[in-house]
Amino acid sequence: MAAADSLPLLTPYKMGNFNLSHRYFIFRVVLAPLTRQRSYNNVPQPHAILYYSQRTSKGGLLITEATGVSDTAQGLLHTPGIWTKEQVEAWKPIVDAVHAKGGIFFCQIWHVGRVSNTVYQPNGQAPISSTDKPLTPQLRRNGIDVTQFSPPRRLRTDEIPHIVNDFRLAARNAIEAGFDGIEIHGAHGYLHEQFMKDKPNDRTDEYGGSLENRCRFTLDVVEAIVNEIGAERVGIRLSPFADYGECEASNPKELGLYMANALNKYGILYCHMVEPRIKLSGETVECPHGLVPMRKAFKGTFIAAGGYDRKDGINAIAENRADLVAYGRLFLANPDLPKRYELDAPLNKYKRETFYTDDPVLGYTDYPFLE
């Protein structure tokens, strides 16, 4: 058994200054944002109180599932939003439950862009994006069904500030709901990557072409949110090496470094980056220490994610490759993951087939704790 004070993943870390003594230090195991599709009609539900509070420990950082900034931001059934008063009010008891157990809670705000269909869009309109290039249909994880994406509509230059404002208002709503801060979802092929990465972005205005232009939209959003709620409450998630949603960067390292350096101008609290790990024939292929240059460039808290296990996380902290490590599927299936890591206890196996159902219990709040 490893004592908590000798296990790097469970040592205290000071992330900014929340001016709340009982949440001044946080521990290094973070709940990653995980889409669960149990927010019926885009409104968070009471069963989320149990789900998030189960995974809360004093000093723990939790990041919500991706939460839409507007009625055009949706691309999946039953994902939560934070653009209406009803949604804000529905989040409040969930946030209160996390705070009651001493946790720190950030709301991840997103816009899916072209990763959508007209059925999820207001008045059946086309999804909006940086481009009008459509996505090809994708086979779902069950190996049977196919996801169809509607051809997107390219945003006009004069419309982009309106989308920036949607993010600003969503951030303000998150603070009203009681969250400690927000995380901008700038990863995994959604709207921000549709601008940042050169494969999808075929624009010829000030939001396309050069690396600086392609990153402009995301940095506009960062600036607007910082001005609204303060830099100390803002984080961002990036995945420069990933190619989800046919969003690929021809030079991902250059993109990651540019963003790490550019974000320093705004003094945001943290940068949350996904490791360049890929799956080949079911096995993870590592790109060792791929985030180190970005970690060195960014001046705030650096969170690493991407298939980490206990040993990987310990090494990342011990070798100063990250300040915090975010866990997704393992935390989903092990609500007491920090305790299991402290004791080096066996882990529950996650049930992939229940990741994205709308059941309020099955595969959601029924994973067992250690006795």
Positions marked catalytic: 190
Which of these, 325, 332, 298, 371, lies nearest to 7 by C-alpha position? Answer: 325
- Give the C-alpha separation, 366 to 359, whole Å: 11
Query: Is residue 277 a contact partner of residue 306, using CB atoms and an 8 Å limit?
Result: yes
Q: Give the SS3 label for residue 128.
A: strand
Q: Which two tokens stand for residue 107?
A: 């709301």
Q: Give the SS3 label for residue 71.
A: coil
Beta bridge partners of 182: 107, 234
- Give the C-alpha separation, 194 to 202, whole Å: 10
Which of these, 71, 197, 32, lies nearest to 130 by C-alpha position? Answer: 197
Nearest 5 degrees, angle CA 100-CA 106-CA 109?
140
Other C-beta atoms within 10 Å of 337: how many?
Answer: 23
Spell out the SS3 assignment of 188-226.
CCCHHHHHHCCCCCCCCCCCCCCHHHHCHHHHHHHHHHH
- Give the C-alpha separation, 139 to 193, whole Å: 21
> Could you give the C-alpha distances from 333 to 4, 218, 330, 355, in angstroms and in order?
21, 32, 5, 10
With tokens 């885009």, the residue in question is 42
Query: Is residue 74 a contact partner of residue 42, using CB atoms and an 8 Å limit?
Result: yes
